[in-house]
Chains A and B, each alone.
Chain A
Amino acid sequence: MIHASSLQEALDHQASGAVLFAGGTWAMRGPMDRPFVTLSGIPGLDLIEGQGGQLILGALVTHEALARALSTDPGRAALALAAGKSATPAVRRMATLGGNICTADFASPDLVPALLVLGACVTIVTAQGVEDLPLADYLATPPGPHVLTHVKLPAVTGRSTHVRLMQRQAGEYPLAALSMALKADPDGTIRDLRIAVGAVEARPRRWPALEAALIGCTPDPAALRGIARDLSDFIGRDAVDAPGWYRTRVLPGLVARAFATLTAPEGR
């Protein structure tokens, strides 16, 4: 176990085969024959800072710290709920934002769909230097060896939420998770809508077909499930907790639940 005190040091050890270690809640359940390089000695990675309307979050911010910091931020409720309902209280004290994004073989990271609908950009450092890129691009084309240092969230104007379908109420991975961010006119016309789905496919992603179909409309909540069913192009992932067909079948219900929450008078 190596304790990096700078990003360069972490990158050097990573290049020679060490595994980055943040909260350890994923790494400690994998192969233990490789060296770990811890990030906790690198300054600034636990930052939570508002700049204008923008919010900058360090990669080592824990799920617990995130839920606490966002508890009074209704526009970013999707992220607060994702962070506050994931895993268990003890694990939320350990697991980090960066670990949630960077665990490439984790299908159900709750924070990622929430970050996608909030328009997150990530800052990564590689041997070539520092790069800012949209989270969606990071997920679509995972970079080579890198350290993710920060997440930037733009100012928000609408409301957002995160819903999860569970076998039990808590304490395990969701069978499907959906984040939604909505901006609507007082008459209910949708001005902006972003929907992202986690746990269904190998990695979370947006649902552009459904977003495009609903923007500019005033959808009848009763018709929403049917629209979502018709426009679903997700191919569900089979795993021990649920077969793929089940994960896709529950998505319209999650869409309806999220939409109902966001259009309720005091919803979020």
Chain B
Amino acid sequence: MTISLTINGDPLEYSGDPRRTLLSVLRNDLRLTGAKEVCGEGFCGACTVHVDGAPKVACLIPMGTLSGRSITTIEGLGAPDMLNAVQQAFVDHDVVQCGMCFPGMVLSMSHFLAETPHPTRDEIKRAMTGNLCRCTGYERIVDALASIAPAQEALS
């Protein structure tokens, strides 16, 4: 059975084992290696992608459930000369260390800020619980995210 979906706007026809994970297909077949394979169990968030706009962990999603879905990976979000607000804030606050957690962090937090434009620090921390940063730069990540809402208000 062939499964049709889109990845970063491009159509994909998949006819392999439907139990294979989206993460494996992204990384091994499509060479979209932004989503990282770390725990493989849903705990760390390094493999986060958007499925129809909502962040989910690609390591627990079998291809067979994705017919008609639209997937966005970090490669499909912003562009080097046109970063989104979260990507830009992470650069400006120099928060990236090894970078392993960041593709997932950016995808989770971009969605969170779109839903919660004026978050408190506690709300930001709660929203980050599914994205582990083993380099533990959490406070700077929170600072960067907290800077976005007021900055956007000042611009508008």
How distant is A148 from chain B, measured CB to nearest CB, in Å? 19
Main SS class of interface, B: mixed
Complex CA gap A38/B18 in Å reads: 12
Q: Which 9 A-B pairs have the closest CB atoms?
A: A88-B130, A1-B64, A1-B18, A170-B129, A28-B60, A171-B129, A90-B130, A90-B55, A90-B57
User: Are A89 and B55 interface neighbours, CB within 8 A?
Assistant: yes
Complex CA–CA separation, A200 to B60 (angstroms):
26
Minimum distance in angstroms from A61 CB to a CB of chain B = 15
Q: Which residues of A contact B65 (CB under 8 A)?
A: 1, 21, 24, 38, 40
Complex A-B: 15 CB contacts under 8 Å: A1-B62, A1-B64, A1-B65, A28-B21, A28-B42, A28-B60, A29-B41, A88-B45, A89-B129, A91-B57, A94-B61, A170-B126, A171-B43, A171-B129, A171-B130
A32 within 8 A of B: yes
Q: Within 8 Å of chain B (Cβ to Cβ): is A259? A: no
On whether the beta carbons of B62 and A91 are closer than 8 Å, the reply is no
Q: For the complex, is B36 an interface residue (Cβ under 8 Å from A)?
A: no
Docked Cα-Cα span, A88 to B57, in Å, equals 10
CB distance from B36 to the nearest CB of A (A): 14
Query: CA of A3 to CA of B67 in the docked complex: distance in angstroms?
Result: 11
Tell me which of A29, A40, A87, A91 has the highest count of chain B C-beta atoms within 10 A of its own C-beta. A91
Q: Does B108 contact A (CB under 8 A)?
A: yes
From known contacts A88-B45, A171-B43, infer whether A24 and B130 are also in contact, taking CB-CB under 8 Å.
Answer: no
Within 8 A of B (CB), among A18-68: 21, 24-25, 28-29, 32, 36, 38, 40
A191 at the binding interface (Cβ < 8 Å): no
Map CB proximity to B onto A91-106 as digits: 1 under 8 Å, 0 otherwise: 1011000000000000
> Within the complex, which residue of A1, A32, A40, A172 is in contact with B43, where a contact is CB–CB below 8 Å?
A172
Q: Are B130 and A36 in contact (CB under 8 A)?
A: no
Nearest CB in chain B to that of A35: its residue: B19
Asked if B83 CB lies within 8 Å of chain A CBs, one says no
Is A169's CB within 8 Å of the partner chain B? yes
Tell me the complex Cα distance, A89–B126, Å: 9
| A contact patch SS | loop
Residue of A nearest to B60 (CB): A28
Q: Are A90 and B62 in contact (CB under 8 A)?
A: no
> Which residues from chain B contact A1 at a C-beta distance below 8 Å?
18-19, 62, 64-65
Given A28-B21, A29-B42, decide whether A88 and B60 contact each other with a Cβ distance below 8 A: no
In the complex, whether B54 has a CB less than 8 A from a CB of chain A is yes
Whole-angstrom distance between the alpha carbons of A91 and B126 in the complex?
14
Residues of B within 8 Å of A25, CB to CB, are 42, 60
The listed residue (A87, A94, A169, A171) touching B56 by CB distance below 8 A is A94
A17 to chain B, nearest CB (A): 14
Give the residues in chain B near A172, CB-CB below 8 Å: 43
Closest Cβ–Cβ distance, residue B140 to chain A (whole Å) = 19
Interface string of A166-184 (1 = CB under 8 A from B): 0001111000000000000
Q: Which residues of A contact B72 (CB under 8 A)?
A: none
Q: How far is the CB of A171 from chain B (nearest CB, A)?
A: 4
List the A side residues contacting B132 at CB < 8 Å. 171
**Which of A28, A88, A94, A169 is most buried by chain B, counting CB atoms within 10 A of its CB?**
A88
Write the chain B residue with the least CB distance to A89: B130
Taken together as a complex, chains A and B put the C-alpha atoms of A32 and B62 apart, in Å, by: 11
B73 lies within 8 A of chain A by Cβ: no
By the criterion CB–CB under 8 Å, are A36 and B64 in contact? yes
